[in-house]
Structure formats: C-alpha cells, structure tokens
Structure 1
Amino acid sequence: METEGFQDGEETHAEAWGANTYFDSYFEIEAVKILPGEYYVTRQDKLIVTVLGSCVAACIHDKVQGIGGISHFMLPFGLDETELIDSSIRYGSHALEMLINQLLKLGAIKDQLEAKVFGGGNVLAAPDSYLIGERNAAFLLSYLEAEKIPVISQSLLGDWPQKVYFFPATGRVLVKKLKRLNNTTIFDREARYFEKLLNIEVAGNIELFG
C-alpha cells in the first residue's frame, strides 16, 4: 500500500489517521481532516479539510499531474526579537519544505506547482494576537515568492476563522468564513498549539512535537 499521509513530519498510512479520516456525505468523497501542525499530500481524488484561525495554510497543487497537499502551521511567537525571527524562519521554512518535498516525491514537478493560501486571522486570544496572523500571512507569501511558486488565490487576515475544503486532484478550494460558532473548539485547539510553539526547540535542528 502506498504511503501518502504525513503528520508532524512523520510518515503514516492514510488509513491510520483514525478520527481524522471520514467520508464526506455532502461532497460524496473520502476526506481527511488536518489539524494545526499537520500536513497531508496525496495524488488520489480526496478532500482535505482544515479550519484556520491565526494559523495559515498553503494548498499547493501540481496543475498538470493532479497531485496536491496542504500544510497548516503557525510561526513561533516569543518576546525576544532575535530568537523570534530565527525560530520563525526555521519553523516556517521547515513546515513548507516538508510539504513541497513530499509533493515532489509523489511525482509533482516544481515548475508546475501553484498555491492558494488562507488564514492569518485576528482570532487568537493572546497578547498582540493581531500580529500573529499578520506575521504568519506575510511569511507564507514571502516564502512562496522566494520558491517561485505562484499564489493564484488567497484569503488572508480578517476577523473570522475559515474552514477550507481543498480538492488536491483538481486544485479547487472552497472557503467558508465561520461567523457563527457553536463552541470554542477551534480557539481551544489553536491555543493549545500556540502553547506548544512557545516550547519548541529551534536552536539546532527543528524538533517537531508529537
């Protein structure tokens, strides 16, 4: 069986994701739910779903090969400016490099990649939280520009969480802004991720928690 699922930099079979895989009855397709700090790459006809607050997501797709993937991440955020810049570059670059490298391993061609980007909202209850989303969005756009991967669509910043539906086989993305929430799950999940990032090891090689 081909390995195509990846979580926190560690290869896993897609079938082993447990509660993160399900059949979406509305779109009538097998779906994978991605949480903060995770990514997923596939060349199968699936749906990848994630919900973003201050985090950002890059949906990258080979427009010829029909291979696509998504990375959902947030930059580390601390008080020391020098450490902050260094850790952000290390962690953010690592998150996107993992996604791009796995796309290429599945047969994607670098010159055929294009991106759609989302998130970076002002929704996290933390000091200077509006800066977190702005930094995430700015880094994501800067990184893709440096990698010469064109951004053909974006929905960044704003005051609402976003639910992203990505069809990697075609590159199609649907976005729903969540202006009404029945619970605090989104904010609680992102707050826990934020707490983990405060303790991430960035002095040498990136150490991903999990």
Structure 2
Amino acid sequence: MTANLTNMVYPGFETIPRYWNREHECMTARVDPGEYYISCQDEYIFTRLGSCITACIWDPVMRVGGLNHFLLPERKAHDDWHQLTSYSCRYGNWAMEQLINSILSAGGQRRNLQAKVFGGAKLGGMSIINVGESNIEFVRQYLATEGIEIIAEDVGGIWPRKVMFHPMTGKAKVKRLSSEPVELTILEEKEYLDGVKVTGGDNDIELFGD
C-alpha cells in the first residue's frame, strides 16, 4: 500500500505529510499553517486551527477538492493600516487563489464549487482587533466575490479546532478543543505569521470525538 502513496498525490504536494488513518481506514494528509492541499482520492485532509481559517472547497460533480490554512496579521498599535491591507492580500488572497486555481487545474469547474469554513477563534491576549474575526470577515467576503457559496461553517468562539475534510464528497468533521491548552496553537500561529512577514457534498458539520 505505502509503495504507491506518492502516485496518489498531485504534483507539488509531495511534501505534505500523509499517513494511514486506522479509524477511517483511509489515507490522511496533514496541512499546517501556510499550506494547502487538494485531492481527488478517497482520503481525508486534516488540520488544526486557532485564529487561523481553513476554507474547504470542492467540486461535488468532478469530486475534487482541498483546503488551505491561513492567518491574516494582527493589527498592532504601530502597524500602518495600508501595510496591514497589503499583508491581507499577500496571505489571504494567495491562500484562496492557490487553492481554487489548483482545484480548477485538477478538473474542477468554478460553477460547481462549494465551500465550508472553519476557525477564526479568539485565543488569549488583548489586541486592538480580534484577528480571528478579521479572518472570518475576509474569507466570507472573498468567497462572496468569487461567487462560491458557503454551505456550512463553524467559526469564532474561543476554541481551537481540529478539522477533517473529505475532498471528494465535501464531508467535514470538526472537533472543538475546549479542554486542550491553547498555548501550543498560539505559538504555532505566531511562528507561522512571523515567518511569512520575514519572507515576504453533505451540508452538515459532523462533530467527532477523540
């Protein structure tokens, strides 16, 4: 089985970690902050979210889809508003464009695309704006502009989340991690955002347990 795993991956996604999920008896690809992944295989795509947003987009007719994982920068007292807008274009627009264009390149049709959106939690600390809420507003506006319907979402709140998405069917499973310490998630998102600054189907959401 493992000898053929690389043959199942679209070019450009060979570095995305994939493993056999015993619970679901299928392959699972893990998407970390700043990454995205598409597939037409019977597999799940997994990610963990705090303030970040995941847009799960798929074509239910061609049965191809994927998800991204991005975070807009938080506005600090010293930030210039125009700089923040530039960051939003660089981070959010890039994440959305890359995911959508990859799905279209794999045979998806824009008129068929549907979306589910997750994340955007408010995690710890005080800030001038809630970066999670900014992420939610951004992805909603972006998808509306692109004419892609959001058929389900689980956003906001104070909970980190785990998301599993099946790109062929659009089925999504989400778990709110209310009992899990948020420090690791906050650290992962900060490291991701700092790094970027330096380098320039089923309409229901199924809750799942451990």
Question: What TM-score range do you get, normalising by the shorter chain?
Answer: 0.7 to 0.9
Q: Work out which of the residue numbers 2, 7, 10 in structure 2 matches 1:4.
A: 10
How has the CA–CA distance of structure 1 residues 195 and 69 changed in structure 2, closer, same or farther, with 3 Å as cutoff? same
Give the whole-Å Cα distance in 1 for the aligned partners of 2:138 and 2:157.
16
Aligned counterpart in structure 1 of residue 19 of structure 2, from 11, 18, 22: 22
Partner of 1:85: 85
- Provide the aligned length of Structure 1 versus Structure 2: 191
Alignment partners' CA distance in 1, 2:94 and 2:186: 24
Q: Does the C-alpha gap of structure 1 residues 183 and 152 become closer, same or farther in structure 2, counting only changes over 3 Å?
A: closer
- Structure 1 match to 2:33: 36
Distance 2:195 2:126 in 1: 16
**Residue in structure 2 matched with residue 48 of structure 1 by the alignment:** 45
Q: Distance in 2 between matches of 1:116 and 1:192?
A: 26
Q: Could you tell me which residue of structure 2 aligns to residue 193 of structure 1?
A: 192
1:118 aligns with 2:118: yes
Contact map agreement 2:9 2:39 (CA 8 A) in 1: no
TM-score normalised according to structure 2 size: 0.84
Cα distance change, pair 129–54 in 1 and its aligned pair in 2 (3 A): farther
Q: Percent identity?
A: 36
Residue pairs, 1:52-71, within 5 angstroms: 52-71=49-68
Deviates more, 1:88-97 or 1:37-46: 88-97
- Conservation of the 8 A alpha-carbon contact between 1:122 and 1:130: no
- Structure 1 residues 80 and 130 mapped into 2: Cα distance closer, same or farther (>3 Å)? closer
Deviation, 1:183, is 7.7
C-alpha contact 2:35 2:70 (8 A) present in aligned 1: yes
| Contact kept? 1:63, 1:113, Cα under 8 Å | yes
Q: 1:184, 1:42 → 2: CA distance? A: 31
Rounded to whole Å, the distance in 1 between the matches of 2:116 and 2:182 is: 28
When the two chains are superposed, the root-mean-square deviation of aligned CA atoms in Å is 1.8
TM-score (norm 1): 0.84
Structure 1 residue 166 and structure 2 residue 165: aligned? yes
Question: Offset at 1:12?
Answer: 3.3
Aligned partners of 2:128 and 2:105: how far apart in 1?
A: 36
Query: How far is the alpha carbon of 1:192 from its aligned partner?
Result: 1.0
State the shift of 1:94 in Å: 1.2
Could you give the per-residue CA deviations for residues 94-116 of structure 1, whole angstroms, max 9, x where no partner exists? 11000000000110000000000
Runs (5+) with no aligned partner, structure 2: 1-6, 201-210
Secondary structure of the 2:69 match is strand
Counterpart secondary structure, 2:165: strand
| 1:38 partner letter | E
For 2:125 and 2:30, the matched residues in 1 are separated by 25
Contact 1:76 1:197 in 2 (8 A): no
Alignment partner for residue 74 of structure 1, among 71, 75, 79? 71
Does the 8 Å CA contact 1:120/1:157 hold for their aligned counterparts?
Answer: yes
The residue type equivalent to 1:163 in the other structure is K
Tell me, yes or no, if the aligned pair for 2:160 and 2:182 is still in contact at 8 Å.
no
| Structure 1 stretch displaced more, 90-99 or 74-83 | 74-83
- The answer on whether the counterparts of 1:161 and 1:177 sit within 8 Å (CA) in structure 2 is yes
Q: Hey, what's the Cα distance between the residues in 2 that align with 1:77 and 1:196?
A: 14
CA contact (8 A) 1:122 1:129 kept: no
